């Protein structure tokens, strides 16, 4: 691997990304077909056969496979080609679908989320074929539709209709690879766990009446009580192994005072308030809280028809995020308990939900990512992370694939930079990151597939 011309591959990846960005796959409505056919044509030019799987012909998914000389492990390179809308192109320095290569960046919607990684994974995949690399098992390239709107036409559908297309030992996809600077050390994140989601509509029943004659069965007042209870409730801590490791490793770099606090934080038997963190701590107290427990945020409310009519019903929405091992049933029980004397006056209806998903961090492939980072980027360490949101990893994890989010970005872009740009104006990726991504992911893929 060492003798590869990474600079040339990085440049080629930038060009491919630029062309991918120019194909508008804004979701909704998606229209991923242009991007999928573009990738299929490029693969064909390399002599690689690929297959299209589609629930809707306008929203296809692409699968290509390279088989090694010997039987062995299977590695899935997974990405999505749809992007979120760019509502105001005038706020962009370069138009969102220009794919401009300028000032050391490739600009455009999807550069970070996640056509950049599609381009990198494509380059890794094609490199295996072009360089006639010796490997065992199978390398699988999958580009999907519809991740930004729940994957109904993409990974969710593929996992259900064609699970064999996604089955592998391991998967590499989005969610990690951000450099975190903690004091004088740089850590790269590896995503191994995602929280579950449960959006519920709570209907509170009461009785109507004239606003001039207040009575206690006012649905709005009852809802206000329940919302207040729920918003201030603290679920017991439940700490995933990856979160424990994240907190302990990051606190090591922050010094003994923080380490002491971190040890209490990861102790499930001790509660205690979270202290304010130093300004150079990698995360906020708000995020720490969300990492160690299930949370509920009230997000919407609707009641009433007129200023002087007491409403007989009130509906509100709760956004519940569940740590692994915590069930919706348990959250429902908690909401009912918190509703207290009103518990018989409410109905809880699911709007949308998915389970938490997790891959182990004591896995050989995870260790291989860590080891490759250490060897290729001397002085740099890794940190496992849990996302409070979700990626397509959850669908492949359900099939038994151990999936990790890792696509390394150069230190030119900090985590804060990246977070500002994702789903925002002036989204862009620096050219160093593209080259670094191709180099590291090629090395990881080659080692994982028992390279000799």
Rounded least distance, CB 139 to Zn ion, Å: 21
- 136-144 vs 70-80, strand pairing mode: parallel
Interaction between residue 168 and Zn ion (CB under 5 A): no
Residue 137 vs 408, nearer CB to Zn ion? 408
Interaction between residue 114 and Zn ion (CB under 5 A): yes
Distance CA 233, CA 338 (A): 8
- From the list 16-24, 172-180, 317-325, 406-414, the region that binds Zn ion by CB under 5 A is 172-180
Distance CA 239, CA 166 (A): 29
Residue 82 vs 312, nearer CB to Zn ion? 82
Give CA separation, 33 vs 60, 85, 181, 342, 421, in Å: 6, 17, 39, 51, 25
Sign of CA dihedral 173, 67, 39, 154: negative
DSSP codes, 323-360: -TT--HHHHHHHHHHHHGGGGGGEEEEEEEEE--EE--
Angle at 211 between CA 205 and CA 217, to 5 degrees: 30
Give CA separation, 304 vs 137, 188, 208, 210, in Å: 62, 50, 10, 12
Distance CA 236, CA 385 (A): 20
Residue window 73-112: x/- pattern of binding to Zn ion, with contact defined by CB under 5 A: ----------------------------------------
Q: How many residues bind Zn ion (CB under 5 A)?
A: 3
Residue 18 vs 27, nearer CB to Zn ion? 27
Rounded least distance, CB 387 to Zn ion, Å: 11
Rounded least distance, CB 421 to Zn ion, Å: 13
Interaction between residue 117 and Zn ion (CB under 5 A): no
Residue 176 vs 179, nearer CB to Zn ion? 176
Residue window 272-311: x/- pattern of binding to Zn ion, with contact defined by CB under 5 A: ----------------------------------------
Rounded least distance, CB 62 to Zn ion, Å: 16
Residue 113 vs 427, nearer CB to Zn ion? 113
Distance CA 57, CA 366 (A): 36
Distance CA 83, CA 146 (A): 8
Rounded least distance, CB 113 to Zn ion, Å: 4
Distance CA 266, CA 257 (A): 15
Rounded least distance, CB 80 to Zn ion, Å: 6
Rounded least distance, CB 314 to Zn ion, Å: 35
Kindly state the tokens that stand for 52: 């299209």
Residue 113 vs 191, nearer CB to Zn ion? 113
Residue 66 vs 387, nearer CB to Zn ion? 387
Distance CA 82, CA 408 (A): 21
Kindly state the tokens that stand for 162: 């064609």
* Contact assessment for residue 195 and residue 355, using Cβ atoms and an 8 Å cutoff: no
- From the list 32-40, 50-58, 167-175, 340-348, the region that binds Zn ion by CB under 5 A is 167-175
Residue 174 vs 312, nearer CB to Zn ion? 174
- From the list 113-121, 163-171, 353-361, 418-426, the region that binds Zn ion by CB under 5 A is 113-121
Residue 114 vs 385, nearer CB to Zn ion? 114
Rounded least distance, CB 175 to Zn ion, Å: 8
* Contact assessment for residue 430 and residue 412, using Cβ atoms and an 8 Å cutoff: yes
Stretch 384-423 residues interacting with Zn ion (CB under 5 A) = none
Distance CA 257, CA 249 (A): 14
Binder of Zn ion out of 32, 113, 245, 381 (CB under 5 A): 113
Three-state DSSP class for residue 7 = helix
Rounded least distance, CB 332 to Zn ion, Å: 30
Residue in 24, 54, 108, 198 with CA at minimum distance from that of residue 427: 108
Rounded least distance, CB 285 to Zn ion, Å: 26
Rounded least distance, CB 245 to Zn ion, Å: 24
Q: Which long-range contacts (CB under 8 A, 24 or more apart) does 336-345 make?
A: 338/226, 338/229, 338/230, 338/233, 339/226, 339/229, 340/225, 340/229, 342/204, 342/222, 342/225, 342/226, 345/204, 345/205, 345/206, 345/219, 345/222
- From the list 92-100, 104-112, 169-177, 244-252, the region that binds Zn ion by CB under 5 A is 169-177
Rounded least distance, CB 349 to Zn ion, Å: 28
Residue 60 vs 175, nearer CB to Zn ion? 175
Residue 133 vs 197, nearer CB to Zn ion? 197
Residue 113 vs 430, nearer CB to Zn ion? 113
Residues that bind Zn ion (CB under 5 A): 113-114, 174
């Amino acid at each position: 691997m060492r003798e590869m011309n990474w600079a040339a591959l990085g440049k080629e990846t930038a060009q491919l990304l630029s062309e991918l960005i120019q194909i508008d796959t804004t979701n909704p409505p998606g229209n991923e077909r242009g991007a999928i056919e573009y990738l299929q044509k490029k693969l064909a030019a390399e002599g690689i056969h690929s297959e299209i799987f589609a629930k809707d012909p306008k929203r296809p998914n692409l699968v290509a496979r390279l088989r090694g000389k010997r039987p062995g492990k299977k590695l899935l390179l997974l990405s999505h080609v749809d992007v979120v809308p760019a509502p105001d192109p005038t706020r962009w320095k370069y138009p969102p679908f220009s794919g401009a290569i300028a000032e050391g960046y490739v600009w455009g919607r999807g550069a970070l989320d996640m056509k950049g990684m599609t381009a990198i994974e494509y380059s890794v995949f094609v490199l295996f074929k072009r360089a006639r690399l010796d490997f065992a098992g199978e390398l699988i390239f999958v580009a999907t539709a519809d991740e930004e709107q729940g994957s109904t036409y993409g990974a969710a559908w593929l996992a259900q209709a064609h699970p064999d297309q996604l089955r592998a030992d391991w998967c590499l996809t989005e969610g990690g690879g951000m450099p975190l600077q903690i004091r004088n050390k740089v850590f790269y994140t590896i995503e191994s766990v995602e929280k579950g989601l449960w959006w519920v509509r709570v209907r509170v029943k009461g009785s109507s009446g004239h606003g001039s004659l207040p009575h206690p069965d006012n649905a709005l007042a009852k809802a206000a009580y329940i919302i207040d209870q729920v918003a201030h409730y603290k679920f017991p801590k439940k700490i995933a192994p990856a979160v424990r490791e994240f907190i302990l490793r990051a606190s090591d770099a922050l010094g003994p005072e923080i380490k002491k606090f971190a040890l209490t934080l990861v102790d499930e038997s001790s509660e205690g308030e979270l202290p304010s963190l130093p300004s150079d701590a990698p995360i906020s107290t708000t995020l720490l809280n969300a990492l160690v427990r299930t949370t509920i945020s009230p997000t919407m409310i609707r009641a009433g028809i007129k200023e002087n009519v007491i409403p007989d019903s009130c509906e509100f929405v709760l956004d519940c995020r569940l740590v692994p091992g915590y069930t919706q049933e348990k959250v429902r029980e908690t909401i009912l308990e918190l509703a207290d004397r009103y518990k018989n006056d409410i109905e809880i209806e699911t709007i949308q939900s998915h389970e938490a998903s997790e891959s182990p961090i004591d896995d050989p492939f995870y260790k291989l990512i860590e080891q490759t980072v250490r060897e290729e980027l001397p002085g740099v360490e890794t940190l496992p992370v849990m996302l409070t949101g979700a990626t397509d990893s959850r669908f492949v994890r359900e099939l038994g694939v151990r999936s990790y989010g890792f696509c390394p970005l150069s230190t030119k872009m900090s985590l804060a930079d990246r977070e500002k740009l994702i789903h925002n104006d002036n989204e862009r990726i620096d050219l160093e990151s593209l080259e670094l991504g191709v180099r590291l992911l090629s090395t990881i893929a080659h080692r994982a597939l028992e390279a000799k």
